Amino acid sequence: MTRKFTRTIEDFTCEHCGTQVKGNGYTNHCPHCLWSKHVDINPGDRAATCGGLMKPLELTVKGDGYIILHECVKCGHRRPNKSVPEDDFDALLAVSKGREF
């Protein structure tokens, strides 16, 4: 049986904007530009072999938070991710308007 979530604590440099990001085990995108990387099949497992950058496509409201839909620019895979308080609000607004930050 495959686990649905694996907490993986790791720091990274965003390959889209160059921001140094300190991971907390739940970090799945850059809080500055909101881009991600296609590295997981299930969250945190690092089992995907694609490795493409994942562009933030759209933003939806869920409860008192936001869901960012990411799409891999290499293979087209789509995955929703929760926003976090550390996310740049201007970047979230840009995605909600269909613009890149």
Q: Which of 62, 16, 65, 11 is nearest to 36 (CA)?
A: 16
Q: Which of 90, 91, 54 is nearest to 69 (CA)?
A: 54
The overall average pLDDT reported for the chain is 93
pLDDT of residue 26: 87
Torsion of CA 52, 65, 30, 51, to 10 degrees: -20
Q: Tell me the pTM.
A: 0.90
Distance CA 101, CA 92 (A): 8
Phi, psi of 48 (to 5 degrees): -75, 140
| 55: confidence class by pLDDT, cuts 50, 70, 90 | very high
pLDDT of residue 2: 58
Scan for tokens 């613009």, then name that residue: 99
pLDDT of residue 4: 79
Residue 46, SS3 per DSSP? coil
